[in-house]
Structure 1
Amino acid sequence: MATTNEPADPLAKGTFATAKQAWADLFKWKQRVVVTNEFGETHTEWQAPEPLQNPFSLMAQLSAKGWLFFIVGFAAWTADAFDFHALSIQTVKLSKYYDRSKTDITTAITLTLLLRSIGAAVFGLAGDKFGRKWPMVVNMIILGLLQIATIYSDTFSQFLAVRSLFGLFMGGVYGNAIAMALENCPVNARGLMSGILQQGYSFGYVIAACANLGVGGSTDSWKTVFWIGAGISIGVGLVRICFPESQQFIDARKAGKSAKAPGLFWRETRKMLAQEWRMCIYCIILMTWFNYYSHTSQDSYTTFMLTQKHLSNSPATRASILMKTGACVGGTIIGYLSQFVGRRRAIVVAALLSACLIPAWILPEGERSLSASGFFIQFFVQGAWGVIPIHLNELSPPAFRSSFPGITYQLGNMISSPSAQIVNAIAENTMVTTSKGEQAPAYGPVMGVATAIIALGIAVTTAFGPEKRGRHFETVGPPGVDLNAAKDIEEGLEEDEQKAETKEVEVTTARENTATEKA
C-alpha cells in the first residue's frame, strides 16, 4: 500500500548513534516509524500522531472480553501493591512490635524488592510459554498465604524470612498482569489504558492506607491490615481461575504449531537476548531509576509526617491517601496524553515538573498543606509511571511481552531495593530542628535531595532512549511459534527429499532388472 508520509532515515544502529538519533527525534513532532508493507518490505517514514480522542470513546473500543482481561490484570496489580504497602505504611507500628529500629524494619522492604526479579523471570517466562492465567493464579494465592504467614511470625528473623519469600512470588505478578491487560487493547487506546492500569499500584496504596486508618494506631493493629491483604490476594487468584486464558495468547498459539521440542522455547529466548541485549540493559537502567523514584518519594513519607511533622496516625494516613489519589489521577491523565505527545516527552516533562515541586512537598506544616503538596508531586511522579506499562510493552520483543517487562521491571526493583533503607539510615543519622524546636530525623531533606537527583536521571535516560509508540504486536505468538513453523517446513522438505530419493532408487532398480532380463 502506498503512503504519502515523508520518508525518514532508517533507525540508527549502535548505542551512541541510537542515543544521538533519539535525542534529535525528541524535538520533532512527528515520529520516526518503521513500516512493513503487504510484501514484507520495510521502510522508515515520519508519521504525525493521531489527534486525541474522547477517552470514553477509547474505552468503548474494548470488547467485553478485553475489559474482563483488563479488570483482572488491574485487580492483580492492585492486590500486589496492597500487599507491599501494608508493610511500608506501618513501619512505625512494626518497629514497636518487634522492638527494632525503623531502618531494621525497612530491611524487609529491601529483601522483598531484591528477590522480586527471580519471581519475575520464572513466572514471566512461564507466562510467555504456557499462558497468562495459571502463573497469575499461583502468584496471587501464594501471596495471600504469605501475608498470613507474616501475621504469625513471632520473631524478627521469621518476619524477614517470610518477606523474602513474599518477594519471590510478588515479582511474577507485574509482567503477566500488564501483558494480559494491554495486549488486547486497540492501539490508539493503549496510552489511556496503560495510565489506568499502572495506577493499580497507587490504588493498592490507597486501600492499604484506608485499612490502616480504619484499624487505628495501636501496635497490634498491623495484623488486621495484613489479614485484609491476604483476603484480597487470594480472592483475585480464585476469581482468575473462573476466566479463560488471554484470547490473544490463544489465537497466536493456534496460528502457529504446537512445540515439538522443548528446547525451541529456550533457543528462541537465547536468540532474543543475543539480538536485544542493548534494549534489555536500557530498560533495566530505566526501571532502576523509576523504582528509586517511587520508593524514595513514598515509602518513608508516612514516617516523615509522623516524626518530623508531628502528625498522629490518622492525619498522616489521610494525607497519604490524598497523596496517592493524586498519583491515580496523574497516572491516568499523563498516560492518556502520551498517546498524543509521545511516551518519552510525557515522561521527561512529568519528571522535571516533579523535581520543581520538591520544596513545596517537604516544607509545609500541617495535614492540609502536606496533603495538597503530596497530591501534586505524586500526580507527576506516578504520571511518569503511568506511561511505563505500554512503553515497556512496545519496547519488548513482541513474543516476550510477559517476561520482558516483568524481568526488566523487577531487575530495576532489585537494584533499587535498598532505597527505603538508605533513606531511613541517612535520615536517622542526620537530625533537623522541627517547627516545635525539637530534634527529629531529617526525612524531608533526604527524600527531597534524592528525588531531585532521580527525577533528573529519569529525564536524561528517557531523552536518549528509544520509543516505539503505536507498535503492532497483536499477531505475534509465543516464543517458539515461528521456529516451530520453520521446523515443520524443514521437516516437510526433508520428507519430500527422502520420498524422491526412494522413488529414484526404485526406478533405477527396475531399469536394472529389466536390462538383466533382456540380457
Structure 2
Amino acid sequence: MASYDNDKLRNDSPGDDAMRDSHMGIGRYLATRLPTLKPPMAKAPNPFTLLAMLNLQQWLFFLVAFLAWSWDAFDFFTVSLTVSELGEEFDKSTSQITWGITLVLMFRSVGAVIFGIAADRYGRKWPFVVNNILFIILELGTGFCNTYGQFLACRALFGVAMGGLYGNAAATALEDCPEQARGIVSGMLQQGYAFGYLLATVFARALVGTTSHGWRPLFWFGACPPVLIIIFRLCLPETKSYLERDAARKASGNVAGTFVAEGRVALNKHWLLLTYLVLLMAGFNFMSHGSQDLYPQMLENQFNFSHNAVTVTQVVANLGAMTGGTVIGYSSQIFGRRFSIIVMCTVGGILLYPYGFTSNKRIIAAAFFEQFCVQGAWGVIPIHLMELSPGSFRTFVVGTSYQLGNLASSASSTIESTIGERFPLPPKGETKRYQYGKVIAIFMACVYVYVIVLAFVGPEHRGRNFDVAHDEDLSDATGHRGLTGGQRNGDEKRDSSDVEGNQKV
C-alpha cells in the first residue's frame, strides 16, 4: 500500500515488499496475502535479553505509559462493575445503564482526534498531562452524580478524555524502544488494559457497598492515582523520536506549514491504509468489549455467582489476559503480526462454548484461556499500529483508528444486553434472568471471523524504522531529504538497485 526502504524493513515477512508497491493491482496484492502470512520464524533472543536492551529512560517511558493506560482502563470498567448498583441508584434497567459504557466508547474518537493532533504537533508530554487532569475531574464528577442525566453527561465527557490517551501512551512507550524488543514491550503495554480491569475488579469488591456511600467511593478513588501519574510524566522529557521530528520541522523554516503539509501527504498516500486500520480496530474493539463488558453481569445474573465468585473469575480472566498479551506480543516478533492475530482468534473461537455455557466454577479456566486469546491478539496491536502508521501523525493515527474502532463497537454491551433480554430464564425471586452467555458466544463468533478475514487481507510492516531519516512522508512534505544529522551516510544517495529491490515507482 506504500513503499519503504529495505533497511528499515529488513525483518519483514517474505513477500512484504510486493504489497508496498502503491501501484499494485488488487488481484496481485491479494495473491500476496497467503505467501506473506507464512511465519518468518525470525530469531528472537531470550525475552529477558530483549528487556535488558531498554535503557533507564526507555523503561521510564514504558512505565508511565503503562500506568496511565492501566488507570484509563480502571476508570472505564468502574461502570461495568457497578451496573446493578447504578441501576438501583437511578432506577434504570441494565440496558439503560450500559448506555454509560456506550457513550464513553462513542466519544473516545473525539478525544483521539483532539489529543492526537496536539501530541503530534506539540509533543507527547503536555497533552498527556492535560488528559490526566481531565480524568481526575470527570471521575470525581461521576462519583457525585445524582441523576441519570448527570451520569450520562459525565461519562460522555469522560469518553473524550479517555480517547486521547491510547495513541500518546503507545508513542511514548514504543517510539524509542529498540526494534527487537518492540513485540514484547507492545504486549506488555497493551496488558495495562487487563491490569486496569483487574485492579477495578479488586477495588470494586473492596469499596462498592462497603460504606454508606454505595458505589460512589470507587469513582472517588479512581480520581486519585492520576495525580501521581501526572507528577511522574512531568519528570520525564519528550521522546527522542519526537524531538528529532520537531527539529526537522524547525529546520524547514515553517513548523506549522510543514505540519500541515505532512498531513496532506499522509492523507493522499495512506487514505486506504487508514480506512483499513479503522475497520481492523472496530473488529478488535468488538472483540474485547463483546467478551468483557457484560461478562460480570452474565456470571451474576445467569449463573447466580456471588460477588466473591464474580471477583475471583474476573481476576483469573485478567491474569490470563496479561499472560496472553505478553506472550503473544513477544511471539509476534518471531511468527509475524498477522499470523499471531489469526491464530489467537481461531483458538478463541474454539473456546467460546465453555466461556459462555459453563455454569459452575470451572468456568474460571475457560475465562482464563478465552481472555488469553483475546488479549493475546491485542498484545500485537500497539506495535502493529505504530509500524503501519505514517510517522508524522503516528499518535493521531494510532489513537484515532483505535477510537473510531471503539466508536463502531460502542454499542457492544447494549446490543448484547438488549438481545439477551429476548432469551429469558426462570426468575430468581424478583430478579429477572437472561441467557447472556448464548448471546456473548454468538456475538463473539461473528467478531472472530471478521477479524481473521481483515488480518488475512491486511498489510504488515514488521521491523519498520521509526527514525525521521527514514520518514518519506516528511521528506515529501519538505521537498528534500537529509532532514536530520542522525541519518546514515549515503541516505541521500540511494542507489538504483535499492530502489529496484523495493519495487519503488
Q: TM-score, normalised by structure 2?
A: 0.87
Structure-1 residue corresponding to 2:312: 318
- Separation in 2, partners of 1:191, 1:73: 16
**2:260 equivalent to 1:266:** yes
Structure-2 residue corresponding to 1:390: 383
Alpha carbons 1:253, 1:481 under 8 Å: kept:
no
Alpha carbons 2:262, 2:477 under 8 Å: kept:
no
- Separation in 2, partners of 1:26, 1:336: 19
| 2:270 equivalent among 268, 276, 288 | 276
Structure-2 residue corresponding to 1:250: 243
Structure-1 residue corresponding to 2:393: 400
| 1:105 equivalent among 97, 102, 106 | 97
Structure-2 residue corresponding to 1:74: 66
The residue correspondences of 1:88-167 to structure 2 (distance < 5 A) are 88-167=80-159
Structure-1 residue corresponding to 2:339: 345
Structure-2 residue corresponding to 1:40: none
Structure-2 residue corresponding to 1:46: none
**2:75 equivalent to 1:83:** yes
**2:290 equivalent to 1:296:** yes
Shift of 1:240: 1.2
Alpha carbons 1:400, 1:479 under 8 Å: kept:
no
Distance 1:403 1:9, change over 3 A: closer
| 2:43 equivalent among 25, 30, 51 | 51
Shift of 1:18: 6.2
| 1:10 equivalent among 9, 18, 21 | 18
Structure-1 residue corresponding to 2:500: none
Shift of 1:203: 0.3
The residue correspondences of 1:163-182 to structure 2 (distance < 5 A) are 163-182=155-174
Shift of 1:435: 11
**2:199 equivalent to 1:187:** no
Alpha carbons 1:253, 1:477 under 8 Å: kept:
no
**2:452 equivalent to 1:452:** no
Shift of 1:216: 4.7
Alpha carbons 2:136, 2:224 under 8 Å: kept:
yes
Structure-1 residue corresponding to 2:436: 443
* Partner secondary structure for residue 254 of structure 2: coil
Structure ID, larger Rg: 1
Structure-2 residue corresponding to 1:25: 35
- Name whichever of 475-484 and 186-195 sits farther off: 475-484
Paired letter, 1:331: G
- Separation in 1, partners of 2:456, 2:401: 19
Structure-1 residue corresponding to 2:352: 358
The C-alpha deviation readout for 1:222-261, integer Å capped at 9, x for no partner, is 2111122111223212321222111221133234535526
- Separation in 2, partners of 1:119, 1:7: 37
The residue correspondences of 1:473-488 to structure 2 (distance < 5 A) are 473-475=466-468, 482=475, 486=479
Paired letter, 1:348: I
Alpha carbons 1:358, 1:448 under 8 Å: kept:
yes
Paired letter, 2:18: P
Structure 1 residues not aligned, in runs of 5+: 31-48, 490-519
Alpha carbons 1:400, 1:478 under 8 Å: kept:
no
The C-alpha deviation readout for 1:10-34, integer Å capped at 9, x for no partner, is 335457336514422244344xxxx
- Separation in 1, partners of 2:173, 2:295: 30
Shift of 1:270: 2.1
Alpha carbons 2:18, 2:29 under 8 Å: kept:
no
- Separation in 2, partners of 1:378, 1:324: 7
- Name whichever of 420-429 and 474-483 sits farther off: 474-483
- Separation in 1, partners of 2:25, 2:164: 30
Shift of 1:51: 1.1
Alpha carbons 2:281, 2:402 under 8 Å: kept:
yes
- Separation in 2, partners of 1:223, 1:7: 55
Structure 2 residues not aligned, in runs of 5+: 1-5, 483-505
The C-alpha deviation readout for 1:131-164, integer Å capped at 9, x for no partner, is 1000000001111110001111111001101111
Distance 1:109 1:14, change over 3 A: farther
Paired letter, 2:205: L
Shift of 1:420: 0.8
The total of aligned residue pairs comes to 468
Paired letter, 2:228: G
Structure-1 residue corresponding to 2:321: 327
Alpha carbons 1:360, 1:373 under 8 Å: kept:
yes
Superposed CA RMSD in Å reads 2.6
Alpha carbons 2:16, 2:461 under 8 Å: kept:
no
* Partner secondary structure for residue 257 of structure 1: helix
Alpha carbons 2:391, 2:473 under 8 Å: kept:
no
Alpha carbons 1:55, 1:192 under 8 Å: kept:
yes
Distance 1:75 1:292, change over 3 A: same
Q: TM-score, normalised by structure 1?
A: 0.85
- Name whichever of 469-478 and 325-334 sits farther off: 469-478
- Separation in 2, partners of 1:317, 1:176: 31
Structure-1 residue corresponding to 2:193: 201
Percent of residue pairs bearing the same amino acid type: 39
Paired letter, 1:287: M
* Partner secondary structure for residue 57 of structure 2: helix
The C-alpha deviation readout for 1:74-107, integer Å capped at 9, x for no partner, is 1111111011011111111111111110111111
Distance 1:413 1:22, change over 3 A: farther
Distance 1:359 1:142, change over 3 A: same
- Separation in 1, partners of 2:456, 2:142: 42
Distance 1:389 1:434, change over 3 A: farther
- Separation in 2, partners of 1:297, 1:26: 30
- Separation in 1, partners of 2:471, 2:64: 21
Distance 1:130 1:482, change over 3 A: farther
Alpha carbons 2:39, 2:334 under 8 Å: kept:
no
Shift of 1:264: 3.0
**2:408 equivalent to 1:415:** yes
- Separation in 2, partners of 1:8, 1:313: 50
Distance 1:477 1:82, change over 3 A: farther
The C-alpha deviation readout for 1:268-310, integer Å capped at 9, x for no partner, is 2122112101101100000000000000100000000110010
- Name whichever of 461-470 and 9-18 sits farther off: 9-18
- For CA contacts below 8 A with separation 6 or more, give which structure has more relative contact order: 2
**2:210 equivalent to 1:210:** no
* Partner secondary structure for residue 182 of structure 2: helix
